[in-house]
Structure formats: structure tokens, C-alpha cells
């Protein structure tokens, strides 16, 4: 059999590609606006897979996910408002590449409301590993979808902002845009106050909880630890859940 005959027979085996094949093997991507500048965002048929700030997007994506990229004609519906607000509102995420612990960490982060912050230790406890504070930091450093999973809302237990995948300046900018009073939090941290309680309600909260922000100065009491607040007779807020393991 000569080469021409073989090629002809092979051509006869060709069939139409299955519908949706490209979307199963390739990710689409687009450049979109956000509160911290233009972001490059990739998504698959399962949802948003990667959010990147700055240069080197395509190389970083292919190195991490080992799949091709196809430019999209327009952003994924709902993506721009989700990046602005941190609320997915029906937008899905493709986190298939992540391990179980990292998924648990990101799930805990998604429980933090806009305009509030939580310490790394709180995330570790919610993720089922109370002692794994450093592991939480490592998991957040590899968060593939910042802003959509708002890891900028996670800070250190001593009141410092801590690290952020897009840098500390971006973290501060995002928190300020959400209405977090960083100056007030810094002042409380210098006084070693990390919990605020109301002698009217008998409840103790994280300082950024909307309940804590309503406590008037005459009825406000600060505590360094949740244990100290409990000893003084206060119970954890059911909204911000300063004790993440409480029912």
C-alpha cells in the first residue's frame, strides 16, 4: 500500500468532533475590570478556574493547569459584578485541581461577609484543622480565584493584614473599598483588643461584625481573647461566630 492510499483510507475514518469538545479540553479567557485593575480570567465548562493580575497570565495558567487557552469574545456572564462584590450570584467555580484541605479553606473563606475580616486561625478551625494556621496561609497563597473567593478578608491574629496573593497594597485597597475601618482596627490591635462585647446584649463579636459596629462606647468592652470574654460572661455572636466550632 502506497502512502497516498494509506492517507486516503485514514481520511475516511474522520468524523465530526463531539459537541462541546473544545470546551472540555480548553479554557476560555478574557481581560476584565476589577477594583484593583484589569484582571485576566480563565474559565472552563465547570466555572471560573483562574484569576490573574499583571503580566505572564498565559504562561502561569498553562504551567499550573496544563491545558490550552482560547480567547473569548466577551467575559463570562456575571463575572464582572462578582469580581466587584465578591458575591458569586450563580457564577460557578472550577476548583477541580485543588486538594480537599484547600477546598475546605476556600469554603471557609467564602463564609466571610463583605466588609468583615477573620483571622487565619478562624479559617483553620472552620476547615477542620485548628492547628494548621500556616497551612491555611499556604492554601490561600495558591488560591486560584482571588476576589471570587475573597481571601483578602483573612488577616493575622495580631491585627496585621498579612500576605495576599496580589500583594499587601491590593489587599488594603480591597478592604477599604468594602468599608473596613483599617485605622480603627489598627488602634484596637495596639491595645491588644481583638474582640468587642456589648454589656447590653451580652454578646461578643469580631470588631468588623455589623453587630459590633452598633455597640455604643458606653456599653463596649474589649478583650484580647474569646476565652477572656467568656470568663467575663459574654457569649459568642451567632452572626460572626467568633467561635467557629460552636453550633
In whole angstroms, give the CA distance from residue 53 to residue 38. 7
Residue 205 bears catalytic tag = no
Backbone angles phi, psi at 180, to 5 degrees: -75, 125
Pick the catalytic residue: 151, 205, 209, 237? 151
The candidate with the shortest Cα–Cα distance to 196, out of 222, 216, 218, 217, is 222
Q: Cell numbers 496580589 correspond to what residue?
A: 166
Residues with a catalytic annotation lie at: 151
Amino acid at each position: 500500500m502506497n502512502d497516498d492510499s494509506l492517507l486516503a483510507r485514514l481520511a475516511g475514518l474522520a468524523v465530526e468532533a463531539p459537541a462541546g469538545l473544545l470546551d472540555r479540553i480548553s479554557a476560555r479567557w478574557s481581560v476584565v475590570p476589577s477594583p484593583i485593575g484589569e484582571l485576566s480570567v480563565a474559565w472552563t465548562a465547570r466555572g471560573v478556574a483562574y484569576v490573574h493580575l499583571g503580566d505572564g497570565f498565559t504562561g502561569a495558567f498553562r504551567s499550573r493547569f496544563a491545558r490550552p487557552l482560547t480567547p473569548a469574545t466577551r467575559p463570562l456572564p456575571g463575572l464582572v459584578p462578582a469580581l466587584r462584590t465578591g458575591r458569586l450570584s450563580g457564577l460557578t467555580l472550577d476548583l477541580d485541581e485543588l486538594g480537599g484541605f484547600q477546598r475546605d479553606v476556600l469554603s471557609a473563606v467564602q463564609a466571610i461577609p463583605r466588609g468583615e475580616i477573620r483571622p487565619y486561625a478562624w479559617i483553620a478551625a472552620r476547615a477542620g484543622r485548628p492547628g494548621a494556621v500556616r497551612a491555611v496561609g499556604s492554601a490561600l497563597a495558591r488560591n486560584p480565584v482571588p476576589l471570587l473567593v475573597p481571601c483578602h478578608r483573612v488577616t493575622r491574629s495580631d491585627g496585621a493584614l498579612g500576605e495576599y496573593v496580589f500583594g499587601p497594597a491590593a489587599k488594603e485597597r480591597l478592604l477599604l473599598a468594602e468599608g473596613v475601618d483599617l485605622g480603627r482596627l489598627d488602634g484596637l490591635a495596639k491595645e491588644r483588643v481583638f474582640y468587642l462585647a456589648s454589656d447590653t446584649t451580652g454578646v461578643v463579636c469580631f470588631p468588623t461584625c455589623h453587630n459590633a459596629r452598633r455597640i455604643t462606647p458606653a456599653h463596649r468592652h474589649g478583650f484580647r481573647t474569646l476565652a477572656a470574654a467568656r470568663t467575663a460572661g459574654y457569649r459568642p455572636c451567632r452572626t460572626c461566630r467568633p467561635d467557629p466550632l460552636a453550633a
